[in-house]
Structure 1
Amino acid sequence: MTPAIFFWCTFIAFKLALGLFLFTIAYDLLHIIILVSGAFFWLMSLLFSSLIWFIAIKASDPQDELLQKGLLIFGMMFSVLLQEAFRFLYYRLL
């Protein structure tokens, strides 16, 4: 019964995304390439922002709660700015 429930829940969760993919993107190979490369750029921006945040956390004092809160805010703002920079780079690439 477990595989049936797994597939049932998976299809319920991803039916909208699968429908959008099938009706808007899947008919053209170029659209699929653009979709995959856009996901790659997004993942690279997340990788770089998490790497910067990880280095900042390890280089700071873990006992200072105010500094840790400030680093969390810095990491979030840096992540958003880096994602927007990568989005601009992807736009320029296209």
Structure 2
Amino acid sequence: MTLAVFFGCALVAFGPALALFLLTVVSDPLRVIILVAGAFFWLASLLLSSLTWFVASKASGGPQAEQALQAGLLAAGVALSVLLQEAFRFLYYKLLR
């Protein structure tokens, strides 16, 4: 029963993405390369934003720091993460052009 539940949940979770991949991307090898490169750029931006968050949280005193400072760091971290993702998206666009 657990195997059936696993495959059922996996197909519900990943079925639409798999169908879109099979119907649009897999027919052209260049699209597969572009898809993998886009995923790499997204992961690189996520890594850079998580590293800055880690450094900022350790520099502020860790979890025992005051609540207002942690809330400010969270807001700044989210803003920095969005800006980094958009910057990497622009770099990826420039690379493709």
1:67 Cα offset (Å): 0.7
Letter in 2 for 1:27: S
1:75 Cα offset (Å): 0.3
1:78 aligns with 2:80: yes
TM-score by length of 1: 0.96
TM-score by length of 2: 0.93
1:40 aligns with 2:50: no
Aligned-pair identity in percent equals 63
2:59 corresponds to which residue? 59
Cα-to-partner distance string for 1:20-64 (whole Å, 9 max, x where unaligned): 101110100000000011000000000000100110000003321
How many residues in Structure 1 have an aligned counterpart in Structure 2? 94
1:79 Cα offset (Å): 0.2
Distance in 2, Cα, partners of 1:57 & 1:12: 37
Distance in 1, Cα, partners of 2:93 & 2:65: 42
2:26 corresponds to which residue? 26
2:9 corresponds to which residue? 9
Q: Secondary structure at the match of 2:65?
A: coil
Unpaired runs of at least 5, structure 1:
none
2:92 corresponds to which residue? 90
Letter in 2 for 1:83: Q
RMSD, aligned CA: 0.8
